[in-house]
Amino acid sequence: MPTDSKFQAVPTIPVSQRIRERIVNAKVRYHANDNIADFIEPGELDLLLAEVEGKLRGVLESLVIDTASDHNTLDTGRRVAKMYLNEIFKGRYLPMPPVTEFPNASHLNELMIIGPITVRSACSHHLCPIIGKVWIGVMPNEHSNLIGLSKYARIADWIMSRPQIQEEAVVQLADALQEKMQPDGLAVVMEADHFCMHWRGVKDMDSKMINSVMHGSFLKDPNLRREFLSLIKK
């Protein structure tokens, strides 16, 4: 612990508290499925990982697990911390991946469907896995920006790699794509298994959740919506 010139202990402010103070001072929301990358300074993710590792060790101790002599759980705190920050919750801490945009030079105005894209997330209620598929429908106009096929998957992964509930995740994905592309119409459908139902609680292995978000022409034109939904079923 750092000390001042009189050798008195000076408390170290946890990096999570420093980040939280920046967010609160900016009056920005920081819910489980929000991105907070703008408030994290260089080098702080490593410090945050170490802080989370220490607290996870405390969780294991409170579960009365002898991590000192159990070789299987000796490094579990660090493994789980790395998994949270670098993998399954990385969409909170990293900025949106770079997306190359192309002008609609050919004035494309036909229905485009991308999917199924495999997505993985975690339920923000129990931190249990959510694993499913996403289909995206796009009706571009001559002013729309077009993005590369792989970028749909990258943006979906960025949105889903946070503690989520499915109803909000599809809205966030649709909003991000709408802002990037400005199409005449946008549709997102997600179907997923929720391990908070499979693994705990009712332990129902067969239930899935399907929901959708429709923007623009998909909302106004029932024939277009019908065409999109019939094609993704195939």
Q: What percent of the chain has pLDDT over 70?
A: 94
By the 10 Å C-beta count (0-12 exposed, 13-18 middle, 19+ buried), 125 is classed as: exposed
Q: What residue type is 68 in one-letter code?
A: A
Mean pLDDT of the chain: 92
Question: What does DSSP say about strands 101-103 and 145-147: parallel, antiparallel, or unpaired?
Answer: antiparallel
d(CA 114, CA 117): 8
**CA proximity to 78, closest of 57, 93, 47:** 57
**CA proximity to 138, closest of 170, 161, 115, 112:** 112
3 state SS of 199: coil
The pTM of this model reads 0.89
Note the pLDDT tens digit of each residue in 163-215. Answer: 999 999 999 999 999 999 999 999 999 999 999 999 888 889 888 999 999 99
**Which pLDDT does position 6 carry in this prediction?**
60
pLDDT band at 78 (very low <50, low <70, confident <90, very high): very high
Note the pLDDT tens digit of each residue in 86-143. Answer: 999 999 999 999 888 777 767 677 899 999 999 999 999 999 999 999 999 999 988 7
Q: Quick check: 215 and 140 in contact, CB under 8 A? A: no
Flag whether pLDDT at 3 surpasses 60: no
Contact partners, residue 86, CB within 8 Å, separation at least 6: 49
Tokens of 109: 């105005």
Q: Residue for token digits 């332990």?
A: 203
